Amino acid sequence: MRMMKLSLLSLAIAGTTLSHAAFAEESFSNLFSEAKPILDARYRYEHVDQDNALKHANAQTLRTRVGVQSGKWYGLSALIEADNVSRIGDASYNETRNGQSEYSVVADPNGSEVNQALLRYDHQYGSAVLGRQRINLDNQRFVGGVAWRQNEQTYDGVLGQLKPLQGLTLSYAYIDNINTVFGPGNGRYDSAANPANIEGHSHLLNAQYILMPELTATAYQYRLGLDNLTAGSQSSKTTGLRLNGAIAGISYVLEYAQQSEYADNPLDLDSDYYLAELGYTVQGVALKAGYEVLGGDAGPGNRAFQTPLATKHAFQGWADMFLMTPAGGVKDAYAGISAPLFGGTLQAWYHDFRAEVGSSQYGEEINLSYAHPIPGVKGLVGLVKYASYDADDFAVDTDKAWLQVQYSY
């Protein structure tokens, strides 16, 4: 919190250097006359077929988002938006809140919720945001919005960013509530494994410095106090360093992090995270291969490296088999391609999953997707997507398929 106070003080001092002429140009009416509406609608059909006793899931949902982004007045602005997720047709799936436990899970519960409601101050040396907001840090491996699910994950708190030097961004956030994808409301089927709201006190610190186009260095520490998530056993302190850049079409990422217990976590955590990734892009075709390790622990309880606030769907395969890291950890060797095709974008990925502790071969996964703008309507995009997990020593064979149409104004 001390860092946040310093950031706000710095912004206030810097603001006094603006010329009187610049202030004279501002009008309070800008907040309203320059306001812009927010409108987004996303229809999705999701099918889940698992090799177990559960019935196949077939979910049709419509996510509607409306809101207003105000204009700016002396750098101040406001935003408010609300979401509604509605089921279309039969509830032949387990949304985690409807009690349909005989079906496979499609974690898109019905309901309406305020997605964002915030005040923001922008200045040439940084910004400050207060309220319910979207927070996506770096590649969202540790903190993200899980925008793939119909109910986005947002955060209640304060976020301050300071840019004292060219290329340097210092970020600090204090979070006291997390609105998860399992919301909007707590109820009969709310549990410690998938609460609609995660309570606690979390501090996010991130310092990113773009030294040159070939090298960006990011140091971070995320202190997560997650009191009601798995009885606090995912409260943790994660400290790491990320290096990434691109040289003549060749991109790379190197990252390391260490995780220990935090707040009232009853477990003794001591696990590591590693990432090495290499990519090459030519004429719009992007090739990428990587090796990611979330460390395990053979001791009592699940003390493996966890990423509870991540946008997990973007990592370790689209079938979402590793939303919680198994006690033995995960080693993920992956390769993929993203290429333009007939005016759209084709993606294909392969994953090989193994335990970090022990010799278990978890399984393999193939992911395919194709997205294409729909002609005649600006902002309308169609998507077809498929994930197939072939189990060996972990979980069961799982196939998932999606058909999606999204309109954004």
pLDDT in tens, the chain (409 residues): 444 443 444 444 444 444 344 445 789 999 999 999 999 999 999 999 999 999 999 999 999 999 999 999 999 999 999 999 999 999 999 999 999 999 999 999 999 999 999 999 999 999 999 999 999 999 999 999 999 999 999 999 999 999 999 999 999 999 999 999 999 876 778 888 899 999 999 999 999 999 998 999 999 999 999 999 999 999 999 999 999 999 999 999 999 999 999 999 999 999 999 999 999 999 999 999 999 999 999 888 899 999 999 999 999 999 999 999 999 999 999 999 999 999 999 999 999 999 999 999 999 999 999 999 999 999 999 999 999 999 999 999 999 999 999 999 9
Six-digit token string for 165: 């030097």
Distance CA 198, CA 324 (A): 16
Distance CA 365, CA 386 (A): 10
Q: For residue 48, what are the CA distances in angstroms to 319, 350, 352?
A: 9, 19, 21
CA angle 189, 52, 61 (to 5 degrees): 50
Distance CA 158, CA 177 (A): 11
DSSP for residue 265? -
Amino acid at 59: A
Q: For residue 62, what are the CA distances in angstroms to 94, 143, 283, 373, 407?
A: 16, 26, 36, 19, 11
pTM of the model: 0.92
If you compute the radius of gyration of the chain from its CA atoms, what whole number of angstroms results? 22
What three-state secondary structure class fits 270?
strand
Distance CA 32, CA 396 (A): 54
Six-digit token string for 390: 């072939």
Instruction: Decide yes or no: CATH 2.40.160.10 for domain 2-408.
Output: yes
* Nearest C-alpha neighbor of 337 from the set 347, 350, 325: 347
End-to-end CA distance of the chain: 37
CA quadruple 266, 267, 270, 276: dihedral sign: negative
